[in-house]
Structure 1
Amino acid sequence: MARIAVIGAGMGAMAAAARLAVAGHHVVVHERASTYGGAVGSTARDGFLFDTGPVLLHLPAVYRDLFVKTGKEPLERCVELAQVEPASHHVFADGREVSLPNASRAGVGDALDAALGAGTGARWSAYMNRAREAWDRTRRPLLEEPLWPNWEVLAEREPYPSVPVRRLLRRERRATTLAEAGELELGDPRLVALLESHALAAGLDPRTAPASAAVLPYMEQTFGAWSVRGGMRELARAVYERCLARRVTFTFGSEVTRIVTKDGRAAGIELSDGSVEDADSVVAGVPPEVLARLTDEPGPWPEGGVPARTRLPSRLTVLLALRGARPEATPHRTVLHTRDRAAELDALFGTAVPGAVGEATLTVVRPGDHARVPDAEHEAVTLTATVAHGAEVTSAEVDRLVERAGAVVEGLRERLLWREVRTPAEVEAATGAVGGGVPAPALAGAGGRLLHPSNSTGLPGLYAVGGWSHPGGGLPHAGMSGSLVAGLIVEGPAFTGSR
């Protein structure tokens, strides 16, 4: 039985802890905050309950596998999952609207044809077929296997099979970025907005994201979008309780200040009170800036490895408590597309544009879940927008977002009881990520800019887990990182991937 010290109680760290405990190891999780879950948070007030992190689950198979591998009770006995229908409703800049069915690529094509005109569904479906090829080529190395030592192969090879397009007398072109794929292969600005909204939700610039980012809408439309009764925090609770059932020890309010080394390897942790706890392995589920401080190194990964990404976009969340019942057949998630994509992208990834936050692509979440409201005569609504790293959001910009949400939430102004705002500063306080940065999923191509550092590090005995390491951000990716770290510790360097 090895002693494992885990730093942080985020989803990836807890997934690793549960698997390691089942393998017979003694696991102690040290969390500086007072609770578990990391970015998967919630807030309750006056009988209202809101998610403050992820609002939907994609690839639930990752957590089903975790629960199967760590106990007799399957995931569905621990949380109540439901596919949301429709998966999303979109309101485009020209006023056209479309509802996209859940996990039905044929249904999505039919819906697009009906809403946007004949032929749009076929173009989108053909694009998703090419996205499937990119998914098939990258699924194992980006989700199920430790990052290859020769990761440069993933960086140089673009897995998306771009279609050669000739425009009038111009030379034949092939898309290398997501924005180019939208322009050349989709054409219709509404389809382009639909495509790019998936990149924006992940904090990616479609102008520089590789064409392989097509896997993001492919994953959602193929595997579905799922809600959790009582909020996504219930998933975090279920993973936490599975850890407890496997005799993982949690110590909250326990801040790690240093990773102790001995004979050239990680040998334990030092806490803020000066005490030291020995360990055979240390698993760190913290942002790269924090890990660098703990190791007194600019980065614990070996020279030549994938560098940690910094200054990532953050998220703004506005919580709205409303009087009045949620109307029947209201979409769970509505996306209001911006009228000025160039200004939005400049504000996020380039030159700041005053007032751009208020005009950003806005997601309006209206769950039909009675567990989240005081009674059937009230409604809990969450607004989310991707914002720049460390953005200082003004009250006027929040007002503008709420005003825009009123286009799809009937009588919002008159129904509003109160609102709360979660800015990048609150994200930073909850997760430790400088500027409230939110890591994106790993993607192949783009010279390796969207890969993440490996789970094993240059310091033997130290492993990185969670969204800041391979395979990147997002609930399914966090779960997979836990699986990969557990495999590396249990099986050693010979471990080649999840089975």
Structure 2
Amino acid sequence: MARIVVIGAGLGAMATAARLAVAGHRVTVYERTATYGGAVGRFAREGFAFDTGPGLLHLPAVYRDLFVKTGKEPLEECVALTQVDPASRHVFADGTRVDLPNASRAGTVAALDAALGAGAGERWGEFLVRAREAWDRTRRPLLEEPQPADPAPLAREPYPALKAGLLRRPTTTLAQVGARELGDPRLAALLDAYAGSYGFDPATAPAAAAVLPYMEQTFGSWYVGGGLRALADAVHERCRKRRVEFVFDTAVEEILEKDGRAVGIRTAGGGTVEADHVVSGAPVPELYRGLVVGWERQDDWPRHQEIGTSRVTVCLALRGAREADAVHRTVVHAADGRPTVTVLRPDDPALRPDADHEAVTVTATVGPAAGRDSAWEAVADRMVEAAAAAVPGLVERLLWRHVRTPEDVQRDTGSWTVPGPALAGARGALLPAANRSPLPGLWFAGGWSHPGGGLAHAGMSGALVAGLIVEGADFRGSR
């Protein structure tokens, strides 16, 4: 039985801890804040409750596998999962609206034809065929296997883009895919919105980002009853049942090294904890900036993804009942100086004081130039203006709002930036850090490590790290 220290109590770190505990190891999690969940947080006030991180779950099979492998109760006995249908409503800059069904290729084609004109759905469907080819080429090495020692093959573009122009100029970015292959600026905006929701700029994201809409439209979107925080509660409880120990309000200040191997940690109080393995769920760039002796210089840092975007979230407490034909998720596309926003309106009694009120969350992806401190209020103003296209009578119904800025993200997670999922192409710039660190005995789990950010990807990282520790060099990936 090995002694294992886990730094951080985010979803990926807790998924690792539960799997390692089931394998017979003694696992202790050290979390610098007062609670678990990392980015999967909650804000509650006056009977209203809001998810402050992700609002929907994609690829729930990742967490089904976690619960099957770590106990008798399956995921659906621990949380209530519901498919969101329609998966999303889109309100484009010209006012056109379209409702996209959940995980139905034929339904999506028909909806796009009806809203955008004959042929729009067919072009989108043909694009998804090419996106599937990119998915098939990268799914296993990007999601189910440890990152290879030589990631050069993943640096090549897997998307089979259509050639354009007499000179057959290559398509290298997602924005170029939209402009050259979709034939309608609204379809291009639809594609851009998928990249933006994960923090990527379509102008620089590789064409391989086409796998993001393919993944969502193929495998569906799911809501967890009580909000996504309920999933964090369930994973934490599964860890406790497997006798994982949690130590909160305890920051880790140094990873101890001896004879070229990680051998424990030093906490903020000065105490030291010996360990056979250290698993870090902390943001990898922050880890490099001080926790590991010898990695102080940026030139020494192992490769990691850093896309540089964050989130502003506005929690809206509304008077009045949610209308009968309201949809769970609406994407209001950028127009008139307002950003693209995602508006979540879950029909969940657990999130509101009574049936005569509604809790709504509005989220936008932002870069570092968007604002600082009080300037975020101006960003929030524009976000609420945009959200009015998704919520009838929003201004008149508003009781109060609560704005969560990237500074709140940094306080909760340790980093201003929200990491994105791993993407092939882009010369490897969007590959996160490998799970096996350059220092033997130190492992990376969670959104900052392979296979990247997002609830599903963080859960996959837990499976990979646990497999590498338990099975060692023989581990070839999830099955």
TM-score of the two chains, using structure 1 as the length reference: 0.93
Q: Secondary structure at the match of 1:35?
A: coil
Contact in 1 for aligned 2:84/2:223 (Cα 8 Å): yes
* Counterpart AA for 2:159: Y
Counterpart residue type for residue 466 of structure 2: A
Q: Aligned partners of 2:198 and 2:257: how far apart in 1?
A: 36
- For structure 1, list consecutive stretches of 5 or more residues without a partner in the other structure: 341-355
CA drift of 1:304 comes to 9.4
Match of 2:184 in 1: 188
Measured in 2, the distance between the counterparts of 1:27 and 1:61 equals 25
Q: Structure 1: how far apart are the matches of 2:323 and 2:294?
A: 55
Shift of residue 211 of structure 1?
A: 0.7
- 1:484 is aligned to 464
Would the alpha carbon gap of residues 70 and 302 (structure 1) be closer, same or farther in structure 2, given more than 3 Å must change? Answer: farther
On the 8 A contact 2:172/2:206 being kept in 1, the answer is yes
Higher mean alpha-carbon deviation, 406-415 vs 81-90, is at 406-415
Which secondary structure state, in structure 2, belongs to the residue aligned with residue 250 of structure 1? strand
Matches of 1:32 and 1:92 in 2, distance apart? 42
For residue 444 of structure 2, what is the amino acid of its counterpart? A
> For 1:194-220, what per-residue CA distance to the aligned partner results, in whole angstroms no more than 9, with x for missing partners?
001011111111111111100000000
1:26-175 to 2 correspondence within 5 Å?
26-155=26-155, 157-166=156-165, 170-175=166-171
Aligned to 1:376: 355
C-alpha RMSD of the superposition: 1.6
Q: Tell me if structure 2 keeps the 8 A contact 1:287–1:468.
A: yes
Asked whether 1:453 is paired with 2:453, we answer no
Aligned match of 1:205: 201
Contact 1:300 1:457 in 2 (8 A): no
Aligned to 2:253: 257
- Find the aligned partners of 2:299 and 2:478 in 1 and give their Cα distance: 24
**2:384 corresponds to which of 395, 402, 427:** 402
Q: Distance in 2 between matches of 1:20 and 1:394?
A: 41
The C-alpha deviation readout for 1:337-363, integer Å capped at 9, x for no partner, is: 1126xxxxxxxxxxxxxxx5xx11011
TM-score scaled by length of structure 2? 0.97
CA contact (8 A) 1:302 1:457 kept: no
Matched, 1:273 2:269: yes
More displaced stretch, 383-392 vs 284-293: 383-392
Q: Deviations over 1:294-320 (max 9, x none)?
A: 102337999795x22346100000000
Q: Is 1:389 aligned to 2:345, yes or no?
A: no
**Letter matched to residue 434 of structure 2:** S
Measured after TM superposition, the shift of residue 105 of structure 1 is 1.1
Q: Does 1:464 align with 2:444?
A: yes
One-letter amino acid of the structure 2 residue matched with residue 148 of structure 1: P
Does the 8 Å CA contact 1:143/1:477 hold for their aligned counterparts? yes
Identity percentage of aligned residues: 63
In structure 2, give the amino acid aligned to 1:437: T
Alpha-carbon shift at residue 153 of structure 1 (Å): 1.3
Measured against aligned partners, the alpha-carbon deviations of 1:23-65 in whole angstroms (never above 9, x if no partner) come to 0000000001000000000111111010000000000000000
Whole-angstrom CA distance in 1 between matches of 2:376 and 2:208: 35
SS of equivalent to 2:153: helix
Q: Which amino acid aligns with 1:297?
A: G
Task: Supply the distance in 2 between the matched residues of 1:241 and 1:494 (Cα, whole angstroms).
Answer: 30
**Within 1, Cα distance between the matches of 2:215 and 2:69?**
23
Deviation at 1:371, TM superposition (A): 0.9
How far residue 164 of structure 1 moved from its aligned partner, in angstroms, is: 1.9
The 8 Å contact of residues 199 and 419 in structure 2, kept in 1 or not, is answered as yes
* 3-state SS of 1:18 partner: helix
Greater shift, 219-228 or 289-298, is seen at 289-298
SS in 2 for 1:418: strand
Q: Residue type matched to 1:408 in 2?
A: A
Q: Distance in 1 between matches of 2:259 and 2:134?
A: 43
What is aligned with 1:245? 241
Query: How far did residue 327 of structure 1 move?
Result: 0.6
CA distance in structure 2 between the aligned counterparts of 1:192 and 1:315, rounded to whole angstroms:
22
TM-superposed deviation, 1:245: 0.6
SS of equivalent residue, structure 1 residue 321: strand
Residue 164 of structure 2 aligns with an amino acid whose one-letter code is V
Pair 1:296 & 2:293 matched: yes
Contact 2:91 2:389 in 1 (8 A): no
Tell whether 2:473 aligns with 1:474. Answer: no
In 2, are the aligned partners of 1:301 and 1:459 still within 8 Å (CA)?
no
Is the partner of 2:401 in helix, strand or coil?
strand
Aligned mates of 2:43, 2:362 — CA distance in 1: 14
TM-aligned CA deviation for residue 406 of structure 1: 1.7
Deviations along 1:367-426, one digit per CA (max 9) or x if unpaired, are 111111011000001000001137423423322221222222111111111100000111
Q: Could you tell me how far apart the structure 2 residues matched to 1:371 and 1:201 are?
A: 26
Identify if the C-alpha distance between structure 1 residues 311 and 177 changes in structure 2 by more than 3 Å, giving closer, same or farther.
closer
Q: How do 1:209-228 residues align onto structure 2 when only pairs under 5 Å count?
A: 209-228=205-224
Tell me if structure 2 keeps the 8 A contact 1:158–1:211: yes
Relative to structure 1, is the Cα distance of residues 91 and 311 closer, same or farther in structure 2, using a 3 angstrom cutoff? closer
Q: What residue ranges of structure 2 are gaps of 5+ in the alignment?
A: none
Letter paired with 1:385: A
> Which of the residues 422, 433, 451 maps onto 2:404?
422
Q: CA deviation at 1:275?
A: 0.8
3-state SS of paired residue (1:231): coil
* Aligned partner letter, 1:326: R
- SS of structure 2 residue aligned to 1:227: strand
Q: Distance in 2 between matches of 1:387 and 1:297?
A: 33
SS in 1 for 2:459: helix
The answer to whether the aligner puts 1:324 opposite 2:306 as a matched pair is no
Task: Find the aligned partners of 2:28 and 2:444 in 1 and give their Cα distance.
Answer: 16
Contact 1:301 1:454 in 2 (8 A): no
Give the corresponding residue for 1:348: none
Name the amino acid aligned to 1:91.
V
